[in-house]
Each structure stands twice: as C-alpha cells, then as structure tokens.
C-alpha cells in the first residue's frame, strides 16, 4: 500500500476552518482540535476512500492526534498565521 503524503495546505486550511467554527465553544482547545481533525479525516476516508489531509494519527492520552499537528501549528504561529491563546481549564492550561 503506498504511503499517503500529508497535504500541508489542506491540513492548515482544515485547522483554520475548525478553529474558526469552534470560536464560540468554551470547551474548544488543542485536544478538541486534534479529535475533530481525526473525525473529519476518518469520515472522509470512509466515504471517499481518502482522508482530507493525508495526515497520520497517533494515540495520546486525550484521544487521537495528527502527527503533523505540533510542527504545523508552530510553523503557522512563527509566521504569524495564527495566535495560540492559553486559557485556564480545570486546573490546567488549555491551548486554543
């Protein structure tokens, strides 16, 4: 089976879309972003035979996470495409 390449442009667009749509959700943060990206890719794969982003996912404590999430997020933050807000959430700081 050929290995799918991450489509970084689609990955970035989907991250921005999900963040924008979740702007008013008080429970939105980094973990929810990762889960939403997973569910979107998983559903697209089931219905279309390929994921939207081509990202691979790995298991973490709070659910599935796309492997390129942190590097892409850091890159976008470094060039000013996004701003990460850290807000208190249940004794911890959640990143939005």
pLDDT at 86: 81
Collapse the DSSP code of 4 into the 3-class scheme (helix H, G, I; strand E, B; otherwise coil) and give the result.
Answer: coil
- Per DSSP, 6 falls in state P
Query: For residue 41, what are the contacts with CB-CB under 8 A and spacing of at least 6?
Result: 51, 52, 53, 55, 57, 66
pLDDT at 43: 97
pLDDT at 92: 54
pLDDT at 1: 46
- Per DSSP, 2 falls in state P
Supply the pTM of this predicted model: 0.82
Low-confidence ranges of the chain (pLDDT < 50): 1
């Amino acid at each position: 089976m050929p290995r799918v390449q991450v489509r970084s442009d689609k990955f970035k667009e989907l991250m921005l879309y999900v963040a924008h749509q979740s702007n008013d959700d008080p429970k939105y943060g980094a973990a929810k972003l990762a889960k939403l990206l997973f569910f979107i890719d998983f559903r697209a794969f089931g219905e279309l035979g390929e994921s939207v982003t081509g990202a691979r996912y790995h298991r973490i404590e709070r659910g599935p996470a796309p492997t390129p999430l942190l590097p892409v997020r850091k890159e976008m933050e470094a060039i000013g495409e996004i701003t990460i807000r850290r807000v208190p959430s249940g004794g911890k700081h959640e990143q939005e």
